[in-house]
Every structure is written in C-alpha cells, then in structure tokens.
Amino acid sequence: MKLTFIGAAQEVTGSCFLIEAEGVRFLVDCGMFQGGREARERNLNPWSFDPRQIDFVVLTHAHIDHSGLLPRLSAMGFRGAIFTTRATVDLLSVMLVDSAFIQEGEWARAQRKRARQPRGDAPALLYTVAQAQDCLEQLRGSPYDEDIQPHAAVRCRFRDAGHILGSAIAEIWVTEKGTTRKLVFSGDLGQPGRPIVRDPTPIDSADVLVVESTYGNRLHRPLGETIDELVFVIEDTLRRRQGNIIIPAFALGRTQELLHLLLDLCRQGKLPRLQVFVDSPMANKVTEITWQHKEFLDDESRALLSLRQTHPEWLDLRFTRSVEESISLNRIKAGAIIISASGMCDAGRIKHHLRHHLDRPECAIVIIGFQALGTLGRRLVDGDKVVRIFGEEIRVRASIHTIGLSAHADQAALLNWLKHFKTAPQRTFVVHGEAQTACGFADRIADERGWSVEAPAPGTRIDL
C-alpha cells in the first residue's frame, strides 16, 4: 500500500492524498490551493496521477481547500463516486457552483484585460459552472458513524470532526493480500467548546494516522477573552469612532458562528441592537442549510435558534441578495457591521468593501479566521500599510483587529485528541500546516507521545 501527499503537505491548502493498494486507487480530499498567483498556477497543473484511474474519493468536508478541485477532477475524466456526509452533499451544491462562478468571472476579467493589454498568455479556466454541476451528480451522502463500502477492498466510516457542519474524520479500512489496515484522516478538527457544531469525536486506534496541524504551534485565547475583545471593537468603532466594521468571513462556518455570537451578545445585553449585513449569497444559502440540519448542532445553538424566532428585536440582520444591494452598502458611512466573503479577502464582494473602507481611519477590519500566505488577508494581518485591490493602491488607515474565531483545534486540543489513541499508530503524518508549524508539531508529538511521526513534503510517496 502506498500513500502520496499531493497537497496540504507543509502547507495549509490544497488537501489531497492518494492511496494505492492492490486493485484499488482512491483519494482522500481534492482541495484547491489558495494564496495568490502561485496557487492559481498550481491548481491548473496536471496531477501526478490519471484522474480516469481513480476509483472513488473520500471527502472530509466542504471547505474549498478540501473540495475545490473536484469539478476539475471530474472534467479530466474521473467517473467514480465521491463519498462524504449528507450535510456536506447539501453544502457542496452551493460551494462548488459558487467556486465555479468565481472561476468564470476571474477568467472573463483576465480575457478583457488581455484584450486591452495583449501581453503574455491569458490564464486558462479552471472549471465551469456546468462542470461543477455535473460533478454534484457523483456525490454520495452518508450519516455519521455508519460503515460504507466504496470498494470490495475498502470500508469507511465518517465521524464528527467538530469543525464545520458535516465535517468528518475518515476511518478507512483497506484490505490487501488478506491483511486489513486502518487509516485515519483527521480532516480539519474543531476546537472543543465552540458554538454551532459538536466537539470532535475521539478515535482510539489507527495503523496509519494523518492529522492536521493548522494551529499546531499555538494556543487559542479563551473564548471569553475573544468575545470581550469583539465587544470592545464593536462599541469603539460603531459608537465612539462612528465608523463601520468590515469582517471577512468564510461563508461556511465562520459566518454562522459569528452570527451566533452576535445574537447571543445582544440577548445578554452586552451589546445594543446591531445593524448587521451578510453580503454573500453563498453565506445566505449556507446559513439556511445549517439551520435545516439542526440534528448536527450543539444544544446551545438549537436553543438560541428557537429564542431568535420569538425575539427578532435582538438583532437587525439582513442578507443581501443582489449586486445592487451589495453596492448600496458602501453608501452607509457609520453604524454597520458588514460580513462578507471570501474569508481570506482574495475574491468575492469583500474586496469591494475593503476598497471602500481601508482608507477610513474611523473604520475597523476584523479578521476572524486563518489567512494563508500570499493572500490579501495575510498582508493585512502582517501590517502592510498599502495594498493593491483591483489594480489600485489603497492605504490601510482603518484599524486591523485579529480576533480568533478559528474553526481549527489549537495545539492543546490537537494533543488532547491524540491522547485518546490506546496504542501508538505505526506511522503518523502531520499535514495541513505551514512548514515550520507542521514540522514543529510533529516534533511535539514525538516528544510527548513517543510516536513515529513525520511532516511530509509535497509529493512525498510513502510505502506503507
């Protein structure tokens, strides 16, 4: 049996792992690389495998850095099934089509620019909306904690990863030459005690473990301190400085968690009634899907949802639907919280809001999620004083706040999850972390657990 680390190896995006055994070849995740021009080029590069020879895909969750190249995989000849959770199937009907819409839009803009300035080759189109819709036909949804048989030699089970709605840890049993070995892919693990979804499911055994390390080098602040800082920024910006707050947020996960926190703060009287706009058609659809899957929400979230229906006065919440509504938000000069995608500020409507607000010192930009290297969001977090948006240089005069509402487990939570393994896996691989973070977390596991651990480089092929 062989395991190849195609993406998310000593980096955070592009999650994709190839498993090859006698008579079967399959992928765990097929995600998009994110973070500037280099990432776009990598997404267009041919894979090291033939998509036509992949039997099936096991998908851990719907975030684009785990699912975003599935339409391209299908367009290049993959005809197998994509196995995932039922909630993820519902979410992908929004996520992948929206991703394709963005791809088509960026491609069209590049074509127009090249027509005006005919220099070099125009970038190729990654995939179309039609190809994304075709890919949806290959999805197969399963419940948590039930065995599925995607192939005669493979058995799989999805366990709740507590990261976003429908996120899963994949337990996979592969039989080769009469011997069965258990592989566990953590996917993205959530931070225990966060609102909306339940805590990650403990796993007690694996022959081979592939574990994420996004925040494997740091600890999150206690949620109470984070909420106190959020309250301060909101009061200081909206009431004292008389500005607006712009929050880049992933349409899936962070937007819903943020709305939960704002609603709860208004309920408790810690904040007055707020005017909140969610300017992301995808976030609107994802929020509707989230509320439809109440069986996956934690008890507190279900209770708050019920209260929201009887107390609409707590929060003035509006979802924009049209481009005209989105544009009109930029005429609001004070008193508004605008939540928009993308979460790393590299695409979508958030770039327009940043363009109109970054140069205003009375305004605040609140970063609530991970920002990959090379993204506009990362440049803001790193303190750049001038950024380029739509070819225009914009001064950064608004205050920039990093308020951690990460959906990823921190170092302590990751180590605690690993403690549930009754015996050490034969091999453990640390992935989904920037190089220094992944290697450092591998060393930490080796020191604390005494396991055989490594952080493979991109393209590494391991004989198991």
pLDDT (average), residues 140-165: 96
Higher pLDDT, 313 or 68: 68
Higher pLDDT, 134 or 123: 134
Instruction: Show contacts of 35-42: CB within 8 Å, 24+ apart.
Output: 35/344, 35/346, 35/372, 35/373, 35/374, 35/375, 35/378, 36/346, 36/374, 36/375, 38/374, 39/13, 39/14, 39/374, 40/123, 40/126, 42/14
Stated as kind and residue range, the H or E segment containing 2 is strand 2-7
The C-alpha atoms of residue 409 and residue 407 are separated, in whole angstroms, by: 7
pLDDT (average), residues 321-345: 92
pLDDT number for residue 121: 67
Q: Which two tokens stand for residue 260?
A: 């939960």
Q: Last residue of a domain, which of 386, 402, 418?
A: 402
Q: Is the bond into 342 cis (omega within 30 degrees of 0)? A: yes
pLDDT, tens only, 29-51 = 999 998 777 888 899 999 999 99
Helix (H, G, I), strand (E, B) or coil at 457: coil
pLDDT (average), residues 47-64: 97
165/305 same-domain check: no
Radius of gyration of the chain (CA): 22
- Listed in sequence order, the DSSP H helices in 15-58 are 37-44
Beta-ladder partners of 386? 395
Q: Which band of pLDDT confidence, cut at 50, 70 and 90, is reported for residue 299?
A: confident
pLDDT, tens only, 167-191 = 999 999 999 999 999 999 999 999 9
pLDDT (average), residues 207-218: 96
Q: What is the number of other CB atoms lying within 10 angstroms of the CB of residue 216?
A: 27
> What is the residue range of 101's domain?
2-218+407-463
pLDDT number for residue 243: 97
Residue 426 is which amino acid? Q
pLDDT number for residue 120: 63
Q: What CATH number did the domain enclosing 173 receive?
A: 3.60.15.10
Q: Which of 314, 158, 216 is nearest to 12 (CA)?
A: 216
pLDDT (average), residues 371-397: 92
140/37 same-domain check: yes
175/238 same-domain check: no
Q: What CATH number did the domain enclosing 327 receive?
A: 3.40.50.10890
Question: What values do phi and psi take at 323, rounded to 5?
Answer: -60, -40
pLDDT, tens only, 355-365 = 999 999 999 99
pLDDT (average), residues 324-350: 91
Q: Which two tokens stand for residue 282?
A: 């995808």
The C-alpha atoms of residue 124 and residue 110 are separated, in whole angstroms, by: 9
232/291 same-domain check: yes
283/180 same-domain check: no
CA dihedral of residues 416, 422, 428, 429 (deg, nearest 10): -30
Q: Which band of pLDDT confidence, cut at 50, 70 and 90, is reported for residue 342?
A: confident
- CA-to-CA separations, 185 to 28, 162, 199, 206, 389, in angstroms, rounded: 8, 14, 17, 10, 37
169/208 same-domain check: yes
The C-alpha atoms of residue 356 and residue 360 are separated, in whole angstroms, by: 8
The C-alpha atoms of residue 384 and residue 394 are separated, in whole angstroms, by: 10
Stated as kind and residue range, the H or E segment containing 24 is strand 24-30
147/284 same-domain check: no
234/348 same-domain check: yes
| Tokens 């081979």 found at | 208
Q: What is the pTM of this model?
A: 0.87
Count of domains for the chain: 2
Residue 118 is which amino acid? P
147 CA to centre of own chain: 26
Q: How many Cα atoms are found within 13 Å in the side-chain-facing hemisphere of 457?
A: 0
260/362 same-domain check: yes
Stated as kind and residue range, the H or E segment containing 15 is none
Q: Which of 7, 1, 2 is nearest to 431 (CA)?
A: 7
270/228 same-domain check: yes
pLDDT, tens only, 426-441 = 999 999 999 999 999 9
Residue 411 is which amino acid? Q
Q: Which of 207, 455, 430, 190 is nearest to 296 (CA)?
A: 190
pLDDT number for residue 256: 87
Residues 158/168, Cβ–Cβ less than 8 Å:
yes
Residues 59/67, Cβ–Cβ less than 8 Å:
yes
pLDDT (average), residues 399-420: 92
Length of the chain as a residue count? 464
pLDDT, tens only, 109-122 = 778 877 777 766 66
Q: Which band of pLDDT confidence, cut at 50, 70 and 90, is reported for residue 325?
A: very high
pLDDT (average), residues 124-153: 96
Whether pLDDT at 132 is above 80: yes
| Tokens 């990863």 found at | 161
Q: Last residue of a domain, which of 402, 431, 448?
A: 402
116/171 same-domain check: yes
pLDDT number for residue 122: 66
Percent of the chain predicted with pLDDT > 90: 73
pLDDT (average), residues 113-139: 86
Question: What values do phi and psi take at 394, rounded to 5?
Answer: -120, 125
* Interacting residues of 41 by C-beta distance below 8 A, sequence separation 6+: none
Stated as kind and residue range, the H or E segment containing 147 is strand 147-151
Q: Last residue of a domain, which of 402, 418, 438?
A: 402
Higher pLDDT, 436 or 407: 436
Residues 19/28, Cβ–Cβ less than 8 Å:
yes
Q: Which band of pLDDT confidence, cut at 50, 70 and 90, is reported for residue 405?
A: confident
286/377 same-domain check: yes
The C-alpha atoms of residue 43 and residue 434 are separated, in whole angstroms, by: 18
